[in-house]
Structure 1
Amino acid sequence: MAVEYAGEMAGVLAAPELYGFTGGEPPSVEQLTERYRRQVAGPGRAGEYWLNWVISLDGVLVGYVQATVIGAEAEIAWVVGADWQGRGIAREAAVGLAGWLREQGAGLLLAHVHPEHVASAKVAAAAGLRATGELDDDGEQRWEG
């Protein structure tokens, strides 16, 4: 992830329906610029790494994947802009991320998916994760694998 992606990514993340399950609202360019600055700087905690990549399709940014890695455990997430959903982009990106993390030695992958978000549940399953039935404080289900 690079700070200079903030402008284009603000457009990718602008659809209010992207926040239907997670809450919140579309970020401004300024908010994304600050978020990307923090992501590039990293967590500043020994043994913890933030990995963030934009997803590009034919030279156009369409979403992102990310992982927070602590030891042999990695929590992954993905977002694809509303205009590009339903094309398998999130699935391909999450499967690729999960495979790469496993190649790097990740022993446990985690994700949190809203129980009613069927599309994200399918992405998590494709990435080799399974629903645990456990809900976090935000009401999202823990997936692991």
Structure 2
Amino acid sequence: MDIIETPLLVLLPLRPEHAREMAGALSDPGLHAFIGGAPLTAQELRARYERLVAGPAGWRNWVIRLRADERLIGYVQATIDDTTAELAWVIGTPWQGRGLATESAKALVGWLGTQGVKQVVAHIHPDHAASAAVAAAAGLHPTDELKDGEVRWERTV
């Protein structure tokens, strides 16, 4: 998997070794209000990362490193099925509100366009205004379709 770079960020292919630092970055219980679940321990996160790395070829996951201080601050992922990719992004609470999720999502959409992906999709809780703003900034638009209570957003690449 490729490293994806932006002026502020480096998206690094996920490795189990990222778990300890990512457990800290994702430790705020409030972060899980819309995505569900609860913060995982470093050990639990490592086990999850091992599964993700070993998973199907269409599962693509990157951790987000902030260039300014080399810290891991969140992740982006794309589940690719033929020419469609379903996206997700999570930025740790201390780094939210700085445009970093938007920069990550735009970079991922741009990279996917170079990989033969024709359509990108995201499912966003209707009350999650911040994620809706990220999706809109990355060129996605909401549809009338709901999946598990979340609005389907999409864009042709």
Aligning the two structures, in what range does the TM-score lie when normalised by the shorter sequence? Answer: over 0.9
Query: Of 75, 83, 105, which aligns to 1:72?
Result: 83
Deviation at 1:86, TM superposition (A): 0.4
Paired amino acid for 1:59: E
Q: Where do 1:1-145 residues align within 5 Å?
A: 1-43=14-56, 48-57=57-66, 58-137=69-148, 139-145=149-155
Q: 2:3 matched to which residue of 1?
A: none
Unaligned runs of 5+ in 1: none
Deviation for aligned residue 1:133: 2.1
1:32, CA displacement in angstroms? 0.6
- Divergent runs of 4+, >2 A: none
Identity of aligned residues (%): 56
User: TM-score, normalized by length of structure 2?
Assistant: 0.86
Q: Which consecutive unaligned segments of at least 5 residues does structure 2 have? A: 1-13
TM-score by length of 1: 0.93
Q: In 2, Cα distance between the equivalents of 1:114 and 1:26?
A: 19
C-alpha displacement of 1:80: 0.2
Instruction: Provide the aligned C-alpha RMSD in A.
Output: 0.9
C-alpha distance in 2 between matches for 1:134 and 1:70: 19
Alpha-carbon offset, residue 89 of structure 1: 0.4
SS in 1 for 2:49: helix
Structure 1 residue 117 displacement after superposition: 0.5
TM-superposed CA distance for 1:14, in Å, is 0.5
